[in-house]
Amino acid sequence: MTTRTAATPQTAVTPRTALTTRTAGGPVTATYWMDHAWLGTHVEPDVTVEVADGRIAGVRTGVETPPPGATVLRGLTLPGLANAHSHAFHRALRATVQVGSGTFWTWRELMYQVASRLTPDTYFDLARATYAEMALAGITSVGEFHYLHHAPGGTPYANPNAMGEALIAAAAEAGIRITLLDTAYLAAGFGEQPNRHQLRFSDTTADAWAERASLLKGDDHTLIGAAIHSVRAVPAGQLATVAQWAEERNAPLHVHLSEQTAENDACLAAHGRTPTRLLADHGVLGPRTTGIHNTHLTEEDIALLGSSTTGTCMCPTTERDLADGIGPAVALQKAGSPLSLGSDSHAVIDLFEEARAMELNERLRTHIRGHWTAAALLRAASADGHAALGRPDAGVLEPGAPADLTTIALDSVRTAGPVPRLAAETAVFAASAADVRHTVVAGRHIVRDGRHALIEDVPGALAAAVAALHH
């Protein structure tokens, strides 16, 4: 393993200890033999994938026995899963926010309390454990929608990207790829200054945000993208600055969009148009852009998103947890908006559940079954998710693609019984994250037989990181 030291996370007045982390290592050459693999359209038995320099060099079918030296992956092997929308620190809210009742807005107050306690060190610990949980769930790449930039009160750290670099280091230690979507979050609402909780989030202007974000650096496992928190959090006149920053770098651009009807109402009152129309008018929409949630849309909104091929990231487990509603995913996809999936607030971390929930939500809403095939749902959880995170070559088992693999058991109490040719349907409609047996990133075995290879005790790491924020 190689060693990498993140920039020292410290406040302007108080030194902190540097975060030291190990990366996933150098390029890997290996051979994997799979008794069943999903090749995009069907399940194929007896497949060998050859890896060179961390990428798939060859795919061979009809290989009835493992070649000498090959690593055997028993079950159904899929392309690595993409979690297109994450707020790592929300993992500390699991169960805590299930006490009592309320709305999205009361949930947000509890979220602010956790955010106020984070430091670069404690954020690293929590993110490292959360990303390890993702690896155990078969996720090989995460889109981290990152807006917790500064110290409490809004004072910049001596290293202005201490928090973002902590997330990058955490993903490296957990062995997964990250697209850090550095987020502009400048206002509390239309014409409102940030509240005391949001001072940590704000760079005060989009130009100042762009100056800080430009200091972030990617690497083999890290891409740097941009995000607009929402139309209520970035003044309309500054939206184009963020969009231009992303365009100049050919970087992904994400935005929370119409998650709540209250946001739509406030936008109409302030600008006389919907959030989607406001984004369109300021040049934010387009094929590198992904709207998160896209829940409460007009027909015109759907047409604007589809015609611009702006993506849609659905986060069904969070949307149902927060009582947000069911977004028009079918209509969006038909209009031309590619679908991806995210675990968002991490009520659970399970991309199979996200895929299943998107279909089952539509069944409840329409009283009709079968809006998407298992193949389409797997694509949303893999290839289209990776594309939304700036990796359009990922999410397929084809030569030239990153050698990122996820294998689920076909002999667990959830998956046993169906014939192998229905393994894709089994994965989407019966399997869970608990069925993941192997996760491979860039050809390197990160999860082997259900155990994380880099972090010995992931549950213990999660418990300790969460406890540190609730004491």
- Residue appearing with tokens 């941009």: 226
- Residue appearing with tokens 């009361």: 106
CA 42-48-50 angle, to 5 degrees, is: 120
Q: How far apart are CA 23 and CA 169, in angstroms?
A: 8
CA 95-96-101 angle, to 5 degrees, is: 95
Q: What is the DSSP string of 397-418?
A: -STTSB--EEEE-SSSTTT-SS
Whether 87 sits among the annotated catalytic residues: the reply is no
Whether 386 sits among the annotated catalytic residues: the reply is no
Select which of 344, 350, 404, 435 is catalytic: 344
Whether the CA torsion 183, 185, 186, 191 is positive or negative: it is positive
3-state helix, strand, coil in the chain (%, to 5): 35, 25, 40
Q: SS3 of 118, please?
A: coil
Q: How far apart are CA 450 and CA 378, in angstroms?
A: 21
Q: Which residues are 448's β-sheet partners?
A: 451
Q: Cβ neighbours of residue 167 under 8 Å, at least 6 residues apart?
A: 88, 123, 124, 127, 144, 146, 178, 180
Report yes or no: 440 and 80 within 8 Å, Cβ to Cβ: yes
Q: How far apart are CA 33 and CA 156, in angstroms?
A: 50
Report yes or no: 418 and 425 within 8 Å, Cβ to Cβ: yes
Select which of 36, 293, 386, 452 is catalytic: 293
User: Three-class SS string for 263-287?
Assistant: HHHHHHHHHCCCHHHHHHHCCCCCC
Q: How far apart are CA 148 and CA 181, in angstroms?
A: 11
Residue 396 has φ and ψ, to the nearest 5°, of -140, 150
Residue (of 332, 298, 288) closest to 312 by Cα position: 332
Q: How far apart are CA 48 and CA 60, in angstroms?
A: 5
Give the catalytic positions in this structure.
Answer: 293, 344
